[in-house]
Amino acid sequence: MQTIVVDDHGRSWDARSPALRRFLRCPLPDFDFLTYLVDNLGFVAVTKTGPHGVRIQMRPETVSQTSLAAALYCIADMELRYITITHSGETHVHRLFHSVAQAVAYMAEQIAGNYQHAPLTLVSRERPVDLLANTEGPLSSFLAHWIDCGHVYDAALASTLAQTLHQRFLEVEPTDDRLTIVDVGAGLEMFAPAWRQKARGLRVEELPDYDYGRWVEGMYRQVLDTDKPRLDDVNVTIRRPDRNDRIRIRYRRLILPFKCGKHGATRLLGTSVMDQTLDLGS
């Protein structure tokens, strides 16, 4: 039985395709790749189980609307009598339907229910970067370095990241149409050290909390698209899968676009300072 995986851009891949692993920078064969795609990246898997049967695998908490729509389009013209929906969460659920309409209604209900009850907080307030001008503090020093170096990624930047920002940074660069992680500072402690060690080459949305990762990716992408700094006051609740808990944190984050290498490729650096006094609401 062939399994087709639909990604968050609506593209279809053979689940066993080496090209898909290369594209996602996941060459290692020692883990359940399909489960990783569905549970962590929000992809949808479609498996033809017989002449008139199909199985759809998804995770309501992370599923991409684009992936789901493309998967449903894929099966719309099939003469199906049996549609099995398999989804994971706190438990694995298997449901059987006899029409595409029934299956669509069920999936919409699961996704809507998840968003309705999820106690996740992702709130930010964009602030004028001028707030940091002529002031003291780690973010002001970071901005001053960016201005003084002419926005060029230089050798002195490492010292600023280590001494002034205490290694609280996320470094990102565009790869094809994705934003991939170049480096994660040891001072960024919201996620486990084991994840930080393997984070290089992953997409930004592949943070341990996928919803938070997709949200953060949007902010980095705005900086990439505008080539302008972005300053935010942030109030978020983050899932930590390694500890099976959630934490609420408040911080001020500055993202700056640097020019790197002889061709002037853009590299984005984001850093933050914790601020427990921020309360932007739930």
Calculate the average pLDDT of the chain.
84
pLDDT of residue 116: 45
Q: What proportions of the chain, in percent to the nearest 5, are helix, strand and coil?
A: 35, 30, 35
Token pair 């996602």 in the structure block, residue: 24
What is the per-residue pLDDT across 166-220, written as a single tens digit (0 to 9) for each? 899 999 999 888 899 999 999 888 888 888 888 899 889 888 888 888 899 999 9
State the DSSP string of 179-213: EEEEEE-TT-TTS-HHHHHH-TTSBGGGSSSHHHH
pLDDT of residue 174: 94
Which of the pair, 253 or 123, is modelled with greater confidence?
253
Which of the pair, 113 or 67, is modelled with greater confidence?
67
Q: At residue 282, does pLDDT exceed 60?
A: no
pLDDT of residue 281: 47
Q: E strand or H helix at 233, and its extent?
A: strand 230-240
User: CB 261: neighbour CB atoms within 10 A?
Assistant: 9
Considering only CA atoms, which of 244, 153, 126 is closest in space to residue 169? 153
Question: Is the separation of the CB atoms in 268 and 173 below 8 Å?
Answer: yes
Considering only CA atoms, which of 105, 65, 61, 109 is closest in space to residue 83? 105
Q: What is the Cα–Cα distance from 202 to 118, expressed in whole angstroms?
A: 26
Q: At residue 88, does pLDDT exceed 80?
A: no
Most confident residue range from 54-68, 102-116, 134-148, 236-250: 134-148
Q: At residue 119, does pLDDT exceed 80?
A: no
Q: CA torsion sign, 260 to 215 to 211 to 103?
A: negative
Q: What is the Cα–Cα distance from 236 to 120, expressed in whole angstroms?
A: 8
Considering only CA atoms, which of 202, 170, 167 is closest in space to residue 183? 170
Q: At residue 156, does pLDDT exceed 60?
A: yes
State the DSSP string of 114-153: HHHH----EEEEEE-GGGGTT--SHHHHHHHHHHHTTTB-
What is the per-residue pLDDT across 37-74, written as a single tens digit (0 to 9) for each? 888 788 899 999 888 899 999 888 778 778 888 888 88
Q: E strand or H helix at 252, and its extent?
A: strand 245-260
Which of the pair, 140 or 40, is modelled with greater confidence?
140
Looking at the chain, which residues constitute the CATH 3.30.450.20 domain(s)? 122-274
pLDDT tier at 163, thresholds 50, 70, 90: confident
Q: What is the Cα–Cα distance from 236 to 121, expressed in whole angstroms?
A: 5
Average pLDDT over residues 129-146: 90
What is the per-residue pLDDT across 10-19, written as a single tens digit (0 to 9) for each? 889 888 888 8
Q: CATH says 122-274 is which class? A: alpha beta
What is the per-residue pLDDT across 31-45, written as a single tens digit (0 to 9) for each? 678 888 888 788 899
